[in-house]
């Protein structure tokens, strides 16, 4: 299997914003209950070929932000063969539940967690189903400490079981509402810029990023994701330019007057 740099390390201290601290996969592909720990908001996946690095990337990031099970968005190579249904029924089950989650924390100066938010996607599918049934959650608290995703028998929880242990508004039934809730809790980007962020992450997480990399497209995507300028700032900048023009006119007038005075004094004193 794979390992992640930063395992068992506490979040970086003095964090005044949310950073990813842990992520997990429950009952997907060959993962029964796998947890990855971040160090200072970063995660490095290491392992031999075939150990599951790409699969972990596929089912966690940016799926946990996106919520879409479209195979072309899941597969880092943009293929259509690696479906979420096949991940859930990987061991030949007739039906299966599964979860993907990610934890974000803000820490105090000593590194202790002062606030935690966990987001995630729950799924269920039967072998004869065409679509994967999904539900989503955004909640304060931490998996394994404040709530769990496994029953006492170590089976993935159903949607009903998850709802029973979280607040009523923590579990969300639709993807659009989930994305809006994640954005509101962690980013504050708005729908359009949130979509741009997810699309950029999909582009950057390709294993062979350097192959056929289009710098212009990346630049355009980054530019499109910039925070829009506030109208008041634009008006202020425009006013500043107008003021500069006025100052320049005054300087020009004073320069002309200075030249005239010099000329007068030159004639007067000779």
Indicate the Cα dihedral angle 180, 185, 189, 191, nearest 10°: 0
Which 3 state secondary structure label does DSSP give 182?
helix
Range of lowest pLDDT (31-35, 80-84, 234-238, 245-249) = 234-238
* Reported confidence tier of residue 213, pLDDT bands at 50, 70, 90: low
Return the top range by mean pLDDT from 95-109, 188-202, 216-230. Answer: 95-109
Give the pTM: 0.75
Looking at the predicted structure, is the pLDDT value of residue 145 above 90? yes
* Reported confidence tier of residue 154, pLDDT bands at 50, 70, 90: very high
**Residue 43 vs residue 4, higher pLDDT:** 43
Planar angle of CA 66, 69, 71, nearest 5 degrees: 115
**Residue 204 vs residue 135, higher pLDDT:** 135
Q: What percent of the chain has pLDDT over 90?
A: 46
What pLDDT, on the 0 to 100 scale, is given for residue 11?
Answer: 44
Looking at the predicted structure, is the pLDDT value of residue 257 above 70? yes
Q: Per residue in 232-246, is it b (16+ CB within 10 Å) or e — as a string?
A: eeeeeeeeeeeeeee
Compute the distance between CA of residue 82 and CA of residue 96 in angstroms, rounded to an integer. 17
Q: Side-chain half-sphere of 33: how many Cα atoms within 13 Å?
A: 11
Cα 206 to chain centroid distance, Å, stands at 16
Compute the distance between CA of residue 219 and CA of residue 27 in angstroms, rounded to an integer. 38
* Reported confidence tier of residue 258, pLDDT bands at 50, 70, 90: confident
* Reported confidence tier of residue 8, pLDDT bands at 50, 70, 90: very low
What pLDDT, on the 0 to 100 scale, is given for residue 248?
Answer: 87
What pLDDT, on the 0 to 100 scale, is given for residue 219?
Answer: 75
Q: What is the mean pLDDT of the chain?
A: 85
- Domain boundaries defined on the chain: 3-188, 229-270
What pLDDT, on the 0 to 100 scale, is given for residue 10?
Answer: 47
CB < 8 Å & 24+ apart, contacts of 213-222: 221/196
Calculate mean pLDDT across residues 35-63.
Answer: 84
Which 3 state secondary structure label does DSSP give 34?
strand
Looking at the predicted structure, is the pLDDT value of residue 15 above 60? no
Across the beta sheet with 133-140, the strand order is 31-37, 19-28, 95-107, 113-126, 133-140, 171-172
CATH of domain 3-188: 3.40.1140
What pLDDT, on the 0 to 100 scale, is given for residue 226?
Answer: 66
Looking at the predicted structure, is the pLDDT value of residue 7 above 50? no
Range of lowest pLDDT (44-58, 88-102, 173-187) = 44-58
Compute the distance between CA of residue 161 and CA of residue 148 in angstroms, rounded to an integer. 10
**Parallel/antiparallel/unpaired status of strands 44-46 and 3-5:** antiparallel
Looking at the predicted structure, is the pLDDT value of residue 46 above 90? no
């Amino acid at each position: 299997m794979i390992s992640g740099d930063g395992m068992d390390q506490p979040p970086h201290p003095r964090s005044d914003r949310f950073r990813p601290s842990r992520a997990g996969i429950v009952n997907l592909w060959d993962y029964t209950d796998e947890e990855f720990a971040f160090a200072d908001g970063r995660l490095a996946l290491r392992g031999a070929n075939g150990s599951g690095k790409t699969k972990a990337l596929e089912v966690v990031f940016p799926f946990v932000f996106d919520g879409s099970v479209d195979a072309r968005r899941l597969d880092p190579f943009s293929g259509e063969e690696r479906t979420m249904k096949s991940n859930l029924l990987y061991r030949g089950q007739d039906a299966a539940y599964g979860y993907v989650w990610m934890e974000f924390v803000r820490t105090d100066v000593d590194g202790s967690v002062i606030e935690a938010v966990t987001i995630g996607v729950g799924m269920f599918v039967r072998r004869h189903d065409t679509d994967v049934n999904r539900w989503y959650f955004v909640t304060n608290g931490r998996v394994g400490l404040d709530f769990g995703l496994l029953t006492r028998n170590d089976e993935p929880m159903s949607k009903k079981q998850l709802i029973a242990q979280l607040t009523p508004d923590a579990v969300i039934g639709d993807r659009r509402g989930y994305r809006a809730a994640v954005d509101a809790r962690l980013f504050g980007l708005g729908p359009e810029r949130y979509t741009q962020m997810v699309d950029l992450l999909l582009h950057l997480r390709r294993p062979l990023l350097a192959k056929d990399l289009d710098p212009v497209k990346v630049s355009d995507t980054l530019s499109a994701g910039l925070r829009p300028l506030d109208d008041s700032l634009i008006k202020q900048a425009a006013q500043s330019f107008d003021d500069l023009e006025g100052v320049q006119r005054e300087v020009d007038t004073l320069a002309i007057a200075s030249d005239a005075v010099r000329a007068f004094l030159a004639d007067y004193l000779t």
